[in-house]
């Protein structure tokens, strides 16, 4: 079953595409959607629809319109977060808002996952797209990072700028839109997608925050039908992908990340007909193809990113999964 997103993203695409001469209706129908996805923001539609529309637009576009994902992000408003927008707007700090964004992501997009790493005086807000594709694609990544920046500015002020914005893909030909939206500190070819900011910004008081309104909004959300809520298996996949590079992908660590004991996690997975070991293996298989397909990553680094402490252990696992060594598999991509 495809990962689901709110059709608000396709509505946003149709709005922005008019300004750059793209026939949104034709593209949206081409991927199998109907016209309702262009006008009804609260439908739940397959994430690959948006990815294909953005990819096709990029291939046919020139100049600034080749950054259609960023153009969509540039017009992003708090209301575009949909049912969770009021609750986000009135959180006391950015840290609280990011936590709620992760908790209620099933009401916005099942594919987006956010987590924070903190160091001495900086914090990195990592954003990952969990998709069925080996490569999520430049446009969806840039759109999601741009929307995240919009949330940060709504909490920290419209003139606020991040320390740096990071993308794992290579730099495109033109960076005018990137610098206009993010500022001059934009780095490409990184190991992650995310935004670096001052650590103090996470806990700076939100001047528009209203605890009572935030509580009312949360109560309203909690009363909504939970049919669209992410499954335990989906949450486990996300947690594994976040924890793998840190070598903490055991069921105990994943359970801790999800706020439950390993026994409770195992029981909930069994109720859904899923197994932790199979989910871990599936995530590793998907990421292995993504990382090995990128020549920037040596095999030793791929092993680390997949949570293996030894390259030899990774090589044996990979050969059992794909029938050849990582090096031979990578050479096959170049033939």
DSSP assignments along 233-278, one per residue? HHHHHHHHHHHGGGT--SHHHHHHHHTS-HHHHHHHHHHTT--HHH
What is the overall mean pLDDT for the chain? 88
Q: What is the pLDDT of residue 89?
A: 94
**Whole-angstrom Cα distance, residue 153 to residue 162?**
9
By 3-state DSSP, what share of the chain in percent is helix, strand and coil, each rounded to 5?
60, 10, 30
pLDDT digits (tens, 9 = 90+) for 114-127: 989 999 999 999 99
Q: Which CATH class is domain 232-334?
A: mainly alpha
> Is residue 228 scored above 60 in pLDDT?
no
Count the Cβ atoms, other than its own, within 10 Å of residue 179: 12
Domain boundaries defined on the chain:
4-203, 232-334
pLDDT digits (tens, 9 = 90+) for 240-271: 887 888 888 899 999 888 888 999 999 999 99
Q: What is the pLDDT of residue 63?
A: 62
Kind plus residue range of the DSSP H or E element containing 113: strand 112-118
**Whole-angstrom Cα distance, residue 191 to residue 207?**
34
* Ramachandran sector of residue 323 (left: φ over 0; alpha: ψ -120 to 50; beta: rest): left
4-203 folds as H-NOX domain (3.90.1520)
Report the Cα–Cα distance between both ends of the chain, in Å, rounded: 33
**Whole-angstrom Cα distance, residue 125 to residue 98?**
9
pLDDT digits (tens, 9 = 90+) for 24-58: 888 888 888 888 888 888 888 888 899 999 988 88
pLDDT digits (tens, 9 = 90+) for 267-284: 999 999 999 999 999 989
**Whole-angstrom Cα distance, residue 106 to residue 302?**
30
Count the Cβ atoms, other than its own, within 10 Å of residue 170: 10
What is the arithmetic mean of pLDDT over 93-109? 90
Report yes or no: 66 and 87 within 8 Å, Cβ to Cβ: no
Q: What is the pLDDT of residue 227?
A: 41
Report yes or no: 42 and 82 within 8 Å, Cβ to Cβ: yes
Q: What is the pLDDT of residue 131?
A: 80
Share of the chain above pLDDT 70, in %: 95
């Amino acid at each position: 079953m495809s990962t689901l997103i709110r059709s608000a993203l396709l509505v946003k695409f149709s709005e922005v595409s008019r300004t750059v001469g793209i026939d949104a209706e034709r593209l949206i129908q081409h991927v199998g959607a109907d016209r309702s996805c262009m006008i009804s923001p609260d439908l739940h539609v397959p994430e690959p629809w948006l990815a294909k529309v953005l990819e096709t637009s990029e291939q046919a576009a020139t100049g600034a319109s080749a950054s259609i994902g960023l153009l969509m992000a540039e017009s992003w408003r708090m209301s575009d977060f949909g049912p969770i927008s009021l609750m986000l707007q009135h959180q006391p700090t950015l840290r609280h808002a990011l936590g709620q964004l992760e908790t209620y992501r099933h009401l916005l997009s099942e594919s987006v996952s956010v987590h924070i790493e903190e160091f001495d005086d900086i914090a990195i807000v990592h954003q990952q797209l969990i998709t069925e594709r080996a490569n999520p694609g430049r446009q969806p990544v840039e759109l999601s990072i741009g929307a995240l920046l919009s949330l940060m500015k709504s909490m920290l002020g419209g003139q606020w700028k991040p320390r740096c914005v990071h993308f794992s893909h290579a730099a495109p030909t033109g960076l005018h839109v990137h610098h206009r939206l993010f500022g001059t500190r934009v780095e490409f070819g990184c190991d992650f997608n995310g935004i670096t900011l001052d650590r103090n910004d996470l806990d700076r008081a939100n001047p528009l925050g209203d605890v009572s309104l935030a509580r009312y909004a949360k109560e309203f959300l909690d009363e909504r039908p939970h049919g669209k809520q992410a499954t335990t298996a989906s949450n486990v996949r996300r947690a594994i992908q976040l924890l793998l590079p840190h070598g903490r992908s055991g069921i105990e660590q994943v359970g801790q990340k999800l706020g439950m004991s390993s026994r409770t996690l195992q029981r909930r997975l069994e109720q859904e007909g899923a197994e932790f070991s199979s989910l871990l293996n599936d995530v590793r298989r998907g990421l292995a193809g993504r990382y090995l397909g990128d020549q920037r990553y040596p095999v030793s680094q791929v092993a680390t990113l997949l949570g293996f402490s030894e390259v030899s252990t990774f090589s044996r696992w990979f050969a059992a999964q794909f029938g050849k060594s990582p090096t031979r598999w990578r050479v096959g991509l170049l033939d």
